[in-house]
Amino acid sequence: MSNMTNEGKTIDPAAAEMLSKAASEKIETTWDRYEKQQPQCGFGELGVCCRNCLQGPCRINPFGEPKRGICGADADLIVTRNLLRTLVGGAACHVDHAFDACEQLLAVAEGNAPYEIKSAEKLSAIARKCGIPTDGKDEKSLAKEVALRALENFQNITEEPMNWISHSAPQERLDVWGKLGILPRNPDREMRVAMHQTSMGVDADPVNLLLACLKIGLVDGYAGLQIGTDIQDILFGVPSAVKTAANLGVLEKDKVNILVHGHVPAVSEKIVEWSRKLEGEAKAAGADGIMVAGICCSGNEVLMRQGIPLATNYLSQELAIVTGAVDAMVVDVQCIMPSLAQVAGCYHTKLITTMPIAKIPGAVHIPYTPERADEMGQEAVRTAIKAFAARDGRKVDIPAHKSEVWAGFSVETIVGALAKVDPADPLKPLIDNIKNGNILGAVGVVGCNNAKVKQDYITVEMVKDLLAENVLIVATGCTGHALAKYGFLSPEGAKKYAGSKLLAVLTAVGEAAGLGGPLPPVLHMGSCVDNSRIGDLLAALAGYLGVSISQLPAAASAPELQHEKAVSIGTWAATLGVFTHCGVAPQVLGSPVAVKVLTSDMEGLVGGKFYVEPDPHAAATGILAHIHKKRAALGI
Minimal CA–CA distance to 303: which of 267, 275, 272, 340? 272
Q: Is 82 helix (H, G, I), strand (E, B) or coil?
A: helix
Q: What percent of the chain has pLDDT over 90?
A: 97
β-sheet bridge partners, residue 474: 444, 523
Query: What is the spatial distance between Cα 365 and Cα 82, in angstroms, rounded to a whole number?
Result: 34
Confidence category of residue 514, pLDDT binned at 50, 70, 90 = confident
Query: What is the spatial distance between Cα 216 and Cα 88, in angstroms, rounded to a whole number?
Result: 7
- Supply the pLDDT for residue 528: 96
At 550-561, the pLDDT tens digits run 999 999 999 999
At 231-245, the pLDDT tens digits run 999 999 999 999 999
Query: What is the spatial distance between Cα 22 and Cα 30, in angstroms, rounded to a whole number?
Result: 11
| All domains in the chain, ordered by first residue | 6-59 (no CATH), 75-236 (1.20.1270.30), 248-395 (3.40.50.2030), 411-634 (3.40.50.2030)
Give the amino acid at 75: A
Q: What is the mean pLDDT of residues 287-304?
A: 97
For residue 483, pLDDT over 80 is answered with: yes
pTM of the model: 0.96
Distances (CA, A) of 46 to 263, 509, 589: 30, 46, 5
64-96 exposure pattern, b = at least 16 Cβ within 10 A, e = fewer: eeeeebebebbbbbbbbbbbbbbbbbbbbbbbb
Confidence category of residue 118, pLDDT binned at 50, 70, 90 = very high
Q: What percent of the chain has pLDDT over 70?
A: 100
β-sheet bridge partners, residue 295: 261, 312
Query: What is the spatial distance between Cα 410 and Cα 10, in angstroms, rounded to a whole number?
Result: 30
Q: Which helix (H) or strand (E) holds 124?
A: helix 120-129
Query: What is the spatial distance between Cα 514 and Cα 133, in angstroms, rounded to a whole number?
Result: 36
113-144 exposure pattern, b = at least 16 Cβ within 10 A, e = fewer: bbbebbbeebbbbbbeebebeeeebeeeebbb
At 531-550, the pLDDT tens digits run 999 999 999 999 999 999 99
β-sheet bridge partners, residue 24: none
Query: What is the spatial distance between Cα 555 and Cα 622, in angstroms, rounded to a whole number?
Result: 10
- Supply the pLDDT for residue 4: 78
- Cα dihedral sign for 278, 480, 317, 581? positive
- Supply the pLDDT for residue 513: 86
Maximal C-alpha separation, the chain:
71
- Supply the pLDDT for residue 1: 53
For residue 2, pLDDT over 60 is answered with: no
